[in-house]
Amino acid sequence: MVDGEAMRRVLGAFAGGVVVVTATSESGEPVGMACQSFSSLSLDPPLVMFCPAETSTTWPRIRAAGRFAVNVLAEDQRETCAAMARGGTGGAGKFAGVPWRPAPGGSPLLDGALAWIEADIDRELAGGDHSVVIGRVTALDAGRDAGPLLFFRSRFGALSEPVGV
Ligand SMILES: Cc1cc2nc3c(=O)[nH]c(=O)nc-3n(C[C@H](O)[C@H](O)[C@H](O)COP(=O)(O)O)c2cc1C
């Protein structure tokens, strides 16, 4: 029997970077959610993807915005990640004390991120209790030179080797 606990425990061995997917809500507030299910998908056309849970209260707001920004977190952004993973706080509440600026399309870009990608929502596919959201990249840039925030077996970590770009 494959249950959710086994899925979480075993799939947690697949270490990955962490991003915050952000958008501007219909009322003009910044919204965002921490995501590990982000991936580059296609170079031509330029596509990226992430997978929001159907229980997410932030995803419907991002969908309504029609576009989103992906903020790739640095190793010193654990607190930002934790804030963006908190359910129930909704809307701008998650952004208290988190400095940001707008991307060309208006999506919030978090200060201190390693890179950002802004994309228009191209497609949403069903994926069990999550959706697969595909975005067409409209703008992107690399941020500062620092190590990545990693998530592995339910814990945050950093690369043990120094990195340089
Ligand atoms: C490291 C990490 C990775 C996460 N990855 C995802 C993800 O890929 N998809 C998702 O729906 N939620 C993911 N979450 C949980 C969401 O960030 C969280 O459930 C969400 O922000 C809850 O708030 P919401 O109701 O505002 O959406 C992740 C949380 C953490 C800490």
Residue 158 lies in a domain: no
SS3 of residue 119 by DSSP: strand
Please count the structural domains in the chain.
1
Residue with the larger pLDDT of the pair 81 and 89: 81
First to last CA, the chain: 44
The reported pTM is 0.95
DSSP letter string over 36-79?
Answer: S--EEEETTTTEEEE--BTT-SSHHHHHHHSEEEEEEPBTT-HH
pLDDT digits (tens, 9 = 90+) for 64-82: 999 999 999 999 999 999 9
Residue 141 resides in a domain: yes
The domain of 124 spans 17-149
Atom of ligand 1 nearest to the CA of 84: 21
Query: What pLDDT was estimated at residue 46?
Result: 98
pLDDT tens-digit profile of 91-113? 668 999 899 999 999 999 999 99
CA 55 to chain centre: 16
Whether ligand 1 lies within 6 angstroms of the CB of 58 is answered as: yes
Binned at pLDDT 50, 70 and 90, residue 160 comes out as confident
Planar angle of CA 147, 143, 111, nearest 5 degrees = 95
What is the whole-number distance in angstroms between the Cα of residue 84 and the centre of ligand 1?
8
Higher pLDDT, 87 or 73: 73
The answer to the question of residue 6 being in a domain is no
Let me know if residue 159 belongs to a domain: no
Indicate whether 10 belongs to any domain: no
Closest CA to 78 of 138, 151, 4: 151
In the structure encoding, which two tokens stand for residue 53, read together? 């849970």
- Whichever domain contains 80, its CATH number is 2.30.110.10
Does residue 51 sit within a domain? yes
Q: Is the CB of 113 under 6 A from ligand 1?
A: no
pLDDT in tens, 16-61: 999 999 999 999 999 999 999 999 999 999 999 999 999 999 999 9
Query: Which residue has a Cα nearest atom 4 of ligand 1?
Result: 35
User: What would the two tokens of residue 62 be?
Assistant: 């991002």
- Within a domain: residue 9? no
CA distances from 5 to 2, 11, 22 (A): 8, 10, 28
